[in-house]
Amino acid sequence: MSGYQQGPSEDGSSWQDPHAQQPWQPAPPPNAGMQPYQQPYPQPYPQPYPPQNRVVVVPVKTPGLAVLFSFLWLGAGNCYAGQVGLGVALIIAQVVCAPLSAILASVTLGFSLLITVPIWIVAFVVSAITGYSACKEHNRSLGFPHY
């Protein structure tokens, strides 16, 4: 046999394995017994790669696109150029004023278009100029004065 008995011994006591190991106990925490000011590891884990300078890529903005976007949707060129507040205000103004202009034109048999179309043209010119200049300033701040 292998050195232990199956079942209780002859005297009636429970049997024990002579090759049994001590019962399992959890390992102590890694900083048990250390002073409060000591670190559990002498050095932080090494980085897999040496620290490098981070590169942030900021795209150049095309002023012609700002003018085109302003023509297609009043205020979109300003949003493209980075003037989000002005662009959103112009977009909201166009969304509110365009239906009113259409209703007014239908009531006045189109005579109100003599007033509303020049107002839209002036708003477009202002939006295009401010978007164009904002793109130029953005590119100048990146170091592209000729773009």
Alpha-carbon radius of gyration of the chain: 39
Provide the mean pLDDT of the chain: 81
Q: Which of the four pLDDT bands, split at 50, 70 and 90, describes residue 75?
A: very high
Q: Which of 103, 126, 128, 129 is nearest to 116 (CA)?
A: 103
For residue range 120-146, list pLDDT tens digits in order.
Answer: 999 999 999 999 999 999 999 988 877
Measured distance CA(90)–CA(88) in Å, rounded: 5
Quick one: tokens of 94?
Answer: 């166009």
How high is the pLDDT of residue 35?
60
**Does the structure show a pLDDT above 60 at 76?**
yes
- DSSP string computed for 57-69: --PPPPHHHHHHH
Measured distance CA(88)–CA(75) in Å, rounded: 6
Q: Which of the four pLDDT bands, split at 50, 70 and 90, describes residue 11?
A: low
How high is the pLDDT of residue 51?
64
Q: Does the pTM exceed 0.75? A: no
Count of CB atoms within 10 A of residue 32's CB? 8
Measured distance CA(136)–CA(138) in Å, rounded: 5
